[in-house]
Structure 1
Amino acid sequence: MTTLENDQLRVSIRPKGAELTSIFHKPTATEHLWQADPTVWPWHGPNLFPVVGGCLNNQLLIDGHAYPTERHGFARHTVFETTESSDAHAIFSLRADDKTRAVYPYEFLFQIIYELEGPQLTITYRVVNEDQKTVFFSVGAHPAFAVPFRADEAYEDYFIEFDQAEPLETHRLSAGGFFTGETEPVSTAGNRLPLTAHLFDQDALVFKNMRSRRVTIRTDKHEQAVTVTFPEFPYLGLWAKPGAPFVCIEPWLGCADSEGSPVPIEQKEAIQQVEPGRVFDASFTIRIQ
Structure 2
Amino acid sequence: MTTLENDLLRVSIRPKGAELTSIYHKPSGIQHLWQADPSIWGWHAPNLFPVVGGCLNNQLLIDGKTYPIERHGFARQSIFETTESTTTHAIFSLRSSDVTRVHFPYEFEFQIIYELIESRLTVTYRIVNDDEKTLFFSVGAHPAFAVPFHVNETYDDYFIEFEQPESLETHMLSSGGYFTGETKAIPTQGLQLPLTEHLFDQDALVFKDLKSRSVTLRSDKHDRSVTVNYQDFPYLGLWAKPGAPFVCIEPWLGCADSEGQPKPIQQKEAIQQIEIGKVFEASFSITVR
How high is the TM-score relative to the length of structure 1? 1.00
Q: Secondary structure at the match of 1:28?
A: coil
Alpha-carbon distance in structure 2 between the residues aligned to 1:267 and 1:251: 21
Q: Could you tell me which residue of structure 1 aligns to residue 248 of structure 2?
A: 248
Residue deviations 1:45-98, cap 9 Å, x none?
000000000000110000100000100000000000000001010000000000
Q: Could you tell me which residue of structure 2 aligns to residue 155 of structure 1?
A: 155
Q: Could you tell me which residue of structure 2 aligns to residue 109 of structure 1?
A: 109
> Which aligned pairs between 1:134-145 and structure 2 lie closer than 5 A?
134-145=134-145
**Aligned-pair RMSD on alpha carbons?**
0.4
Give yes or no for the alignment of 1:193 onto 2:207. no
Q: Secondary structure at the match of 1:72?
A: coil
Shift of 1:209: 2.0
Q: Could you tell me which residue of structure 2 aligns to residue 50 of structure 1?
A: 50
Residue deviations 1:177-223, cap 9 Å, x none?
00000000001001100000000000000000211110000012111
Q: Percent identity?
A: 73
Alpha-carbon distance in structure 1 between the residues aligned to 2:186 and 2:209: 15
Q: Secondary structure at the match of 1:175?
A: coil
Shift of 1:267: 0.2
Q: Could you tell me which residue of structure 2 aligns to residue 173 of structure 1?
A: 173
Q: Could you tell me which residue of structure 2 aligns to residue 15 of structure 1?
A: 15
Alpha-carbon distance in structure 2 between the residues aligned to 1:118 and 1:45: 21
Q: Could you tell me which residue of structure 2 aligns to residue 219 of structure 1?
A: 219
Q: Secondary structure at the match of 1:231?
A: coil
Alpha-carbon distance in structure 1 between the residues aligned to 2:209 and 2:239: 18
Gaps of 5+ in 1: none
Q: Which amino acid aligns with 1:242?
A: P
Alpha-carbon distance in structure 1 between the residues aligned to 2:158 and 2:68: 40
Q: Secondary structure at the match of 1:4?
A: strand
Q: Which amino acid aligns with 1:260?
A: G
Residue deviations 1:92-144, cap 9 Å, x none?
00000001011100000000000000000000000000001000000000000
